[in-house]
Amino acid sequence: MNRKLNVNVNQLPDNPYLLLTPGPLSTSKKVKAAMLRDWCTWDQDYNQLVQSIRGRLVQMATSHPEAYTSILMQGSGTFCVESVIGSVIPPSGKLLVLTNGAYGKRIAQMAEVLGIYTIVVDAGETKPVNVKQLEDMLKEDTSVTHLAVVHVETTTGMINPIADVAKVSKQYGKTLIVDAMSSFGGVPIDVAELDIDFLISSANKCIQGVPGFGIIIAKKETLYTCKGLARSLSLDLYDQWETMELSNGKWRYTSPTHTVRAFDQALQELEEEGGVTRRFERFTRNQQTLVEGMHKLGFQTLLPEELQSPIITAFLFPDSPVFSFEEFYVRMKEEGFVIYPGKITTAPTFRIGNIGDVHLEDIHRLLQGVENQLFWRTT
């Protein structure tokens, strides 16, 4: 099924810079090399590969795989979030969205565009979602049927208290949707233990594949109730799952074959690294080393340590009238690194991610590059 490519990956050209972003991110040479072969969407070998990926994803997501299934959906992570929002909430349903950043707000925007009755509980950009407020809302409004929350909000790098949210959600009998775009595969989570109904992620995040499709881990019992609910043809989550089940890995419409093959290699590399726990440890070491080094260079983080995820870190602009993020960005790119602009409205920030094929030696090189470019201190 998986014929090895006769490719010397060491002959592949190096990237001119390392992506220190929340995704797309820097990938290994073997992941890139996996895309050098063409695949037919109808071929049995390819469809068996799809089925293998689906099964391994469920095994990764929970210690109780018999209760869950996985669906692969073409498009970006946002497409996949919209496929869930638009496919699992009935016309009579009511969605409550917990927000503390741009991606939670995007879920609410999707729901409103789709004509779904939506309540937004916003904690602000620098605080975790408010579990006490959630419980008060669910006590007050018993007509809420579904709850959505972002696990790691990359607007700031915040990690939300997903276990506490899940506990309250299930206490009140709600269907729980978790946007784990920037955590699945990089932060340990068991969907069965938390009783999550739908968890959503993307190929080009912590699993270290390339863009092209997303992942939905779905509780079978809940998914079975969603037939015929979709508000979109191409983003119909139930039909996508049913086709993959009945046709042994076949996608309904043209699948991103090269991306799928690269993802298979990325999954293999995750397993070789030691699984999610070991990857979480690497990301955590990267992030802690980054913050310690940036502090020594005079930078301050937006969030306190206890709220910070190991995925991406927001740093405040230096207190200097001559600091320009645009100039800093260009200079860091010349050093071999691409960083990310800020996204919050309350403070000027920039962000540095440390997921992907990024290791401690890369973080040390980055810190040296930052030190080389402290142009505002000498102006």
The pLDDT assigned to 214 comes to 97
Averaged pLDDT of the chain: 94
Other C-beta atoms closer than 10 Å to the C-beta of 252 total: 17
- Of 63-72, 256-265, 367-376, minimum mean pLDDT range: 367-376
The pLDDT assigned to 16 comes to 85
Tens digit of pLDDT for each residue in 8-49?
666 666 778 999 998 899 999 999 999 998 988 888 999 999
- Of 9-13, 55-59, 308-312, minimum mean pLDDT range: 9-13
Mean pLDDT of 325-335: 95
CATH code linked to domain 276-377: 3.90.1150.10
- Say yes or no to pLDDT of 379 above 90: no
- Say yes or no to pLDDT of 197 above 90: yes
- Say yes or no to pLDDT of 320 above 60: yes
Domain ranges of the chain: 36-271, 276-377
Confidence of residue 288 (pLDDT cuts 50, 70, 90): very high
The pLDDT assigned to 295 comes to 97
More confident call, 379 vs 279:
279
Contact predicate 16/336, CB 8 Å: yes
The pLDDT assigned to 9 comes to 66
Task: Tell me which DSSP letter residue 308 carries.
Answer: B
Burial of 345 (0-12, 13-18, 19+ CB in 10 A): exposed
Give Cα separations from 236 to 90, 102, 298 (angstroms): 13, 24, 49
Name the residue among 363, 262, 311 with its Cα closest to residue 53.
262
pTM: 0.94
Continuous segment of H or E residues that includes residue 119: strand 117-122
307 — phi, psi (to 5°)?
-100, -5
Mean pLDDT of 276-281: 98
**Assigned token pair, 375:** 């142009």
Mean pLDDT of 196-215: 97
Confidence of residue 1 (pLDDT cuts 50, 70, 90): very low
The pLDDT assigned to 127 comes to 96
Burial of 231 (0-12, 13-18, 19+ CB in 10 A): middle
CATH topology of domain 36-271: Aspartate Aminotransferase; domain 2 (3.40.640)
- Say yes or no to pLDDT of 270 above 50: yes
Q: What percent of the chain stands above pLDDT 90? A: 88
Mean pLDDT of 146-161: 97
